Structure 1
Amino acid sequence: MDSIIRNTITIGLPTLMLFIAIAATGKTGEAAVWSGLVKVGGSFGMLIGLGVLVFVGFVANSFSYFVVDSLLVRFYQKRRELEQPEQLVIEIDKLPITNDLKIKLKWAVLHRNNQIISLKHVILKWFILAAILDALLSIAGYLGAFNLFFELSSHFKLQYLLAGLSIFIFFALVRSKKIWLLVSAFCIIINLAEIVPWYFPAPAFAGSTPGQNLRILHSNVLTSNRRYSDVISLVKAEKPDIAVFVEVSTSWVRELAVLSEMFPYYSSYQESDRFGSAIYSKLPLNNTSVKAFSKQRKSLLADVTVQGKIISLILVHPTVPIKHHSFIARNKQLTAIGEYAAQVKNPLIVLGDFNITMWSPFYKNMVKTGNLRNARSGFGILPTWPTFMPLAYIPIDHFLVSKEIGVFKIRTGRNVGSDHLPLITDLVI
């Protein structure tokens, strides 16, 4: 019986993942299986998809041993307190389970000292659970196109990497359970593969001088934030050519008005008291407009002329994908932004709080469709949110640029009281 349960779990979980992937493709027949494997593999392709399913089966098999054995051992340990061990042994002999599990159960009922589980055993079990969870979450992100919760799991690659390193070190030190050493190594490898490319190659415009650059500062100021002076002092200290803000409330509009001394050109859009957007510029703003890429959170557009070239700006702030309807709305908006960006003839900068990281399939589709690249490339992942929980930091604020625009430098600014860190970038036109 226990072997049937284990085999069901081992085969069932990867089969379920493949079934979900096939359903998402909308195809049938043999072609659906291959398309499903491609979906599971994400940007890495069909072979990696197959490898992911094999690995999920491997983890599921190990997890099934942990669950089935632990539950039955615990069950008989509890019964031992009320019944005679000899009677329980007779019962165990009659169970339709494997001999290995019968031996474990007999040991549990015949050795009372075994009732006190050692601290080392408890810690080992917790690290096994952590390894399983880290592996499943690391893999789930690649299925983000199918489900809100899968997509949310795609954003924490750095956290999964750090967890995998910790688990790997633990199992290396205790020198037991080599299977979990391999699981943690797998988590390290697949998350490193998503993080390391953001630090290489070196920026192509590293030899440029600051005087040739266009500096832009972006900040989600947070509607409830009242540290107006901190934001204003940051802008004065960084001396950007353009400063853009989202979550600008009516009170923020009043407080930021002092920036008109530095920036003679200004454009804003106030969708509600909470979710306004504003652009302050030292350069003339032309063709300013508001565009609805979706029914919620409209975007602010403008053109600026830099060294004789017209540069188009799009300031965006899609909805937060915490519910299914907002998840759908954000994804539709990102798709529309990518399609619009592909049609813009001028060099283009799309910036703002995107409420998505670079590892989401919806982000990847947007930048691919729009022929855009993230200014972070070569400078690191630069997490920006949430400032109130540094261990959960993820990069959801972005500068996306078209191929005509180079990046001299990009960095985060100091904490100004918001739940987001500002982003400052120097662009080469």
Structure 2
Amino acid sequence: MSRVKTLILAGLIAVPALALAVRLAGLVSIRADIIAMLWPLFVAAGLVTLAGLSLLRSPRWWPARITALVLAIGLIAAATPWAWLRTSSQSLPASQAPAEAPSETLRLVTLNVWAGNTDPDAAGRFLADGDFDVIALQEVSSAAGRTLDRIETSHPNQVGCRWRVRLLTRLPVNDAGCVDEEVLPAAWLSTTLQGEPVTIVAVHLARPVNESRHRRQVEGLAAWLAARPEHNLVLMGDFNVSQGSVLMRDLEAELAPLERVTIARRTWPSRHLSPVPVIGIDHVWLGPGLCAGAVRVGPHVGSDHRPVMAAVHACKGW
């Protein structure tokens, strides 16, 4: 085998091996875990290796070629979020509970409006037309003011907290407030579902690239939730953590017994950097007393995030 072919083969082994190492490095490095969330990079590395092997047809050094093949296939299999490849509807069902569920349903939506929103009118129309009971917004800046103009009349009960997190509802509010504004950008309110109190929390966690701040916010959120062990609780917002990452595994452990219902829901980036969303960093979590009848990702509304919608009802046996 020529020296050039030897170097090419060495590269075809090194590329998937390095990519696999980065994914595993997420166990010990936050920054590596952030990169590991970007699964298309790793799938592309595997495909490049496969393409290179298809062109490198020399019968010599077959053990090295098989090694590269196994690494490439293993990388693609491990990196591809198979559940995310299925599509989801862009809208919730009509405003009525499923026949087998209780008659009353909460229709919820969370959206990072984004300070750089390119079409705040589209965001406003989507929120106004969605027939939502509760709206959770993040990055509500002055540039997104037109978004709020469309919904402030229909959703007069509001709570706004530091760092541009806001909750709006058309339902009666029993109590409301902010969660430790010195540490955590989160707003909460208490309403009623079938005569029982329900607490709804909107949150916007820091990007994990700032590891100490992100972990401090997660710990603060977990501590606040532990001090309010409501059976019926909704937690939603921008968590800046994606499914399949070590960070998500840690977050799920911290927030237990809340259950994340945004499985296989891609929300970022929305027409920014990519024509379709690649990862899901916007989530909805439910307490043990609540169940989700439907969870959907909404359309592009000028933000780099897609909205997440959920129809939530009391679980059987409430």
Q: Normalized against structure 1, the TM-score is what?
A: 0.60
2:91 alignment counterpart: none
2:24 alignment counterpart: 139
1:262 corresponds, among 127, 132, 154, to: 154
Deviation at 1:339, TM superposition (A): 3.2
Deviation at 1:213, TM superposition (A): 2.8
1:309 corresponds, among 196, 211, 214, to: 196
The CA distance in 1 between the partners of 2:206 and 2:281, in whole Å, is 12
1:78 alignment counterpart: none
1:408 alignment counterpart: 293
From the superposition, tell whether residues 298 and 308 of structure 1 become closer, same or farther in structure 2 (CA, over 3 Å): same
2:122 alignment counterpart: 230
Deviation at 1:353, TM superposition (A): 0.8
The CA distance in 1 between the partners of 2:150 and 2:184, in whole Å, is 26
1:288 corresponds, among 158, 173, 176, to: 176
Q: Any idea what the Cα deviations from partners look like across 1:300-332, whole Å, max 9, x if unmatched?
A: 11112112221111111122233xxx3211111
2:208 corresponds, among 321, 330, 336, to: 321
Alignment partner of 1:190 is 2:74: no
From the superposition, tell whether residues 246 and 210 of structure 1 become closer, same or farther in structure 2 (CA, over 3 Å): farther
The CA distance in 1 between the partners of 2:129 and 2:170, in whole Å, is 15
2:260 alignment counterpart: 374
Q: Percent identity?
A: 20
User: Which has the larger Rg?
Assistant: 1
Greater RCO, 1 or 2 (C-alpha within 8 Å, sep 6+): 2
Deviation at 1:163, TM superposition (A): 4.0
Q: Which range moved further: 345-354 or 120-129?
A: 120-129
From the superposition, tell whether residues 179 and 186 of structure 1 become closer, same or farther in structure 2 (CA, over 3 Å): same
SS at 1:390 equivalent = coil
- The gaps in structure 1 that reach 5 residues or longer are 1-103, 105-113
1:243 alignment counterpart: 135
Q: Which range moved further: 311-320 or 134-143?
A: 134-143
1:156 alignment counterpart: 38
Q: Any idea what the Cα deviations from partners look like across 1:113-139, whole Å, max 9, x if unmatched?
A: x79x5xx77865654443233222222
Q: How many residue pairs end up in the alignment? A: 295
From the superposition, tell whether residues 402 and 255 of structure 1 become closer, same or farther in structure 2 (CA, over 3 Å): closer
Amino acid at match of 1:408: G
1:346 corresponds, among 227, 231, 244, to: 231
SS at 1:142 equivalent = coil
Query: Is residue 331–residue 362 contact of structure 1 (8 Å, CA) maintained in 2?
Result: no
The CA distance in 1 between the partners of 2:85 and 2:192, in whole Å, is 31
Q: Give 1:160-239 correspondences, 5 Å limit.
A: 160-161=42-43, 163-164=45-46, 167-168=49-50, 171=53, 177-191=65-79, 195-196=81-82, 212-239=104-131
2:164 alignment counterpart: 276
SS at 1:261 equivalent = coil
Q: Any idea what the Cα deviations from partners look like across 1:49-102, whole Å, max 9, x if unmatched?
A: xxxxxxxxxxxxxxxxxxxxxxxxxxxxxxxxxxxxxxxxxxxxxxxxxxxxxx
The CA distance in 2 between the partners of 1:366 and 1:134, in whole Å, is 24
Deviation at 1:253, TM superposition (A): 4.2
From the superposition, tell whether residues 159 and 283 of structure 1 become closer, same or farther in structure 2 (CA, over 3 Å): farther
The CA distance in 1 between the partners of 2:11 and 2:85, in whole Å, is 33
The CA distance in 2 between the partners of 1:185 and 1:375, in whole Å, is 30
Query: Is residue 117–residue 144 contact of structure 2 (8 Å, CA) maintained in 1?
Result: no
- The gaps in structure 2 that reach 5 residues or longer are 87-96
The CA distance in 2 between the partners of 1:409 and 1:128, in whole Å, is 44
